[in-house]
Amino acid sequence: MTAARTPAGAPPPRRVVPARASGLPATRARREQPLEPPPARALLGVRRAGSMQAWMLVLPVDAVMTAAPMIWAPHYFKAFGALGLLIVALVCGGGRYRARLHLSVLDELPALLGRLLVAIALVAAVFALRHDDLGVMEFVGASLASVALAVLGRFLTTAVVLTARRRRIVAHRTVVIGGGAVSREVATLLARYPRYGLAVVGHVDGPDRPTRAGDLPRGPGLPHLGSLDDLDDLVRAHGVDVLLVGDGTFREEDLLDRVRTPATEHCDLLVVPRLHAFATATGHSDHIGSLPVMRIRTPALDGPAWALKRAFDVVVSGLLLVLLSPVLLACAVAVRREGGPGVLFRQVRVGRDGRRFECLKFRSMRPASESESATQWTVARDPRIGPVGRVLRATSLDELPQLWNILRGEMTIVGPRPERPHFVERFSAEHPRYGHRHRVPAGLTGLAQVSGLRGDTPISDRARFDNYYIENWSLWLDAKVLLRTVAEVVLARGR
Same-domain pairing of 343 and 434: yes
Same-domain pairing of 312 and 224: no
DSSP state at residue 377: P
275 torsion bin: left (phi>0), alpha (psi -120 to 50), beta (else): beta
Same-domain pairing of 262 and 365: no
Asked, for residue 336, whether it belongs to a domain, the answer is yes
Would you tell me the crossing angle of helices 459-471 and 421-430 to the nearest 10 degrees?
Answer: 90
Same-domain pairing of 368 and 287: no
Looking at 145, 166, 187, the residue that finishes a domain is 166
The β-bridge relationship of strands 285-288 and 344-350 is unpaired
Same-domain pairing of 448 and 325: yes
Asked, for residue 16, whether it belongs to a domain, the answer is no
- Taking the C-alpha atoms of residue 200 and residue 216, their distance in angstroms, rounded to an integer, is 12
DSSP state at residue 491: T
Closest to 263 (Cα-Cα) out of 229, 295, 293, 297: 229
Same-domain pairing of 271 and 420: no
CB 446 within 8 A of CB 437: no
The β-bridge relationship of strands 291-296 and 268-271 is antiparallel
- Taking the C-alpha atoms of residue 292 and residue 259, their distance in angstroms, rounded to an integer, is 20
Looking at 266, 296, 326, the residue that finishes a domain is 296
Asked, for residue 2, whether it belongs to a domain, the answer is no
The β-bridge relationship of strands 411-414 and 442-445 is parallel
**What is the domain range of residue 256?**
40-47+170-296
Same-domain pairing of 59 and 156: yes
Asked, for residue 17, whether it belongs to a domain, the answer is no
- Taking the C-alpha atoms of residue 171 and residue 20, their distance in angstroms, rounded to an integer, is 39
Same-domain pairing of 68 and 123: yes
pLDDT tens for the chain, residues 1 to 495: 333 334 334 444 433 333 333 333 333 333 333 333 444 444 444 444 445 777 788 888 988 999 899 888 888 888 888 888 888 888 876 566 778 888 888 888 888 899 899 999 998 888 888 776 667 888 888 888 999 999 999 999 999 999 999 988 888 999 999 888 888 889 989 988 999 999 999 999 876 555 554 455 444 457 888 888 889 999 999 999 999 998 888 888 788 888 888 888 888 899 988 776 665 555 467 888 878 888 887 777 877 788 889 999 999 999 999 999 999 999 999 988 887 778 888 989 999 989 999 999 988 776 555 555 555 555 556 666 778 888 888 788 888 999 999 999 999 999 999 999 999 999 988 888 888 899 999 999 999 988 888 767 788 888 889 998 998 888 889 999 999 988 877 765 555
Asked, for residue 31, whether it belongs to a domain, the answer is no
- The CATH number for 206's domain is 3.40.50.720
- In this structure, the number of other CB atoms found within 10 A of the CB of residue 167 comes to 12
- Taking the C-alpha atoms of residue 232 and residue 332, their distance in angstroms, rounded to an integer, is 51
Whether the model clears a pTM of 0.85, i.e. scores above it, the answer is no
Asked, for residue 390, whether it belongs to a domain, the answer is yes
Asked, for residue 12, whether it belongs to a domain, the answer is no
Residues 6 or more apart from 357 whose CB is under 8 A from it?
A: 348, 349, 351, 405, 410, 411, 418
Same-domain pairing of 211 and 318: no
Asked, for residue 14, whether it belongs to a domain, the answer is no
Question: Which of 288-323 are b and which e, b meaning 16 or more Cβ less than 10 Å from the residue's Cβ?
Answer: bbebbbbbeebbbeeeeeeeebeebbeeebeebbee
Same-domain pairing of 198 and 111: no
Same-domain pairing of 158 and 184: no
Number of compact structural domains in the chain: 3
